A = this chain, B = another copy of it.
Amino acid sequence: MRVIFNEELKAVADDLDRMAQDVRRAIYGAGDALLNADVEAAQAVIDGDIEIDALESSILDQCVRLLAKQNPVATDLRVVVSTMRLASTFERMGDLARHVAESARRTYPQSALPDEAHDLFVHMQDFLTMTADRLVTMLADRDASTAEQIIVDDDKLDALHHQTFSLVLSPGWNGTKQELIDVVLIGRFMERLGDHAVSAARRVVYIVSGFDPAKEPARDEGTDVD
């Protein structure tokens, strides 16, 4: 029984790794779409979100089967429950990357961002690609120290997100109203990608250490506009 359980758990873990890799690809692609007006990258992210959704669905099914048939306890139960939550977090990250890609596709061949916003979003995207790499490493190695880096560094993304508001509110802002909307919403999508990465990182800390991240205050504190 234990051998079968561990094999089945390994299969789910492989699917979850695949999901993290798909999310990383989506984050990279969304950045290409946004910053280089690359409409093929945008379309690939949009199409690829269907696969991410299917993986979530498959992982949840497998976890429910494991719970029903194997009655895992202690660490194994923690892993199964956390896997379900991680799959849902990654599914949501796929949606957010898709939203960024959709904004880029909508304005193609123009950029969704005016020139004056370009550098700020390059910084945000650099942060998110680093985070995406860390997500994949953290999952593959169940590496709590990488998870902690994701958690600690999220403040940097929040600070960049605040700058999106300073930018559009500054007297020197020359963008259109549509560009203002895009800067605000795309900034919000990217900040939320970071929040979800933090949520995933807390889950991995929980798997490894048994410390329950649900006892931490909720994220998504960074939306006050002032």
Contacts and interface: CB of A to CB of B under 8 A. Distances in A.
A168 interface: yes
Which label, helix, strand, loop or mixed, suits the secondary structure of the A interface?
Answer: helix
Q: How many copies does the complex hold?
A: 2
Given A95-B220, A185-B184, A225 B103 contact: yes
Interface stretch (A37-45, A132-140, A211-219): A211-219
24 contacts: A53-B218, A56-B214, A57-B214, A64-B78, A64-B81, A67-B67, A68-B73, A68-B74, A71-B71, A85-B88, A91-B218, A95-B218, A99-B223, A103-B225, A106-B225, A165-B181, A168-B181, A169-B178, A169-B181, A177-B180, A180-B180, A182-B225, A184-B185, A188-B188
A106 B224 CA distance: 8
A223 B184 CA distance: 13
Contacts of A218: 49, 53, 91, 95
